[in-house]
Amino acid sequence: MTIKRLLVLKNLIFFASILYTLALLTVCLISLRNLPDVGVSHGDKIFHFLAYCVFTLLWVYTFILKFNWAKKKAILVAVIVAVLYGILIEVLQGTVTTVRSFDYYDALANSLGALITALVLKVKNRITY
């Protein structure tokens, strides 16, 4: 990979992480009452879980590629950031909005998404190396 391509990739993953973080904040603080029901049991919790899987994955690769962190450190910090960010958003839902409320199970789903992503990355690293 050329240096120019690597630089573009580093900046792109960083931009994607920032954009995703802001989009997640926005989606979690706006009213979603008019959305159709998808008919999936616990669909909201599945969304939270998957959203924080993606969040964690983006930040792990941002820390590795953009900031040249070691994989273990990148995974640990990304999980901590994801868990704290998920809790912060839940607190904001309960305090600054009138259409959303704090939900312990959403915070749990967010945290599990981050932790399972870290576990998958750790297992993947052990298998490939």
pTM of the entire predicted model: 0.89
pLDDT digits (tens, 9 = 90+) for 28-76: 998 877 766 666 667 889 999 999 999 999 999 999 999 999 999 999 9
* Count of C-beta atoms within a 10 Å radius of residue 25: 14
Judge contact between 45 and 106, C-beta under 8 A: yes
> Which SS3 state, helix, strand or coil, does residue 14 take?
helix
What pLDDT does 128 receive?
56
pLDDT digits (tens, 9 = 90+) for 85-108: 999 999 999 999 888 899 999 999
Block residue for tokens 């312990």 = 104
3-class SS letters over 77-95: HHHHHHHHHHHHHHHHHHH
Using the predicted structure, report yes or no on whether residue 19 has a pLDDT greater than 70. yes
CA distance 20 to 39: 26
Residue type present at position 80: I
Domain ranges of the chain: 3-31+41-128
Which helix or strand (DSSP H or E) is residue 56 part of?
helix 43-65
Mean pLDDT, range 3-31, rounded to an integer: 93
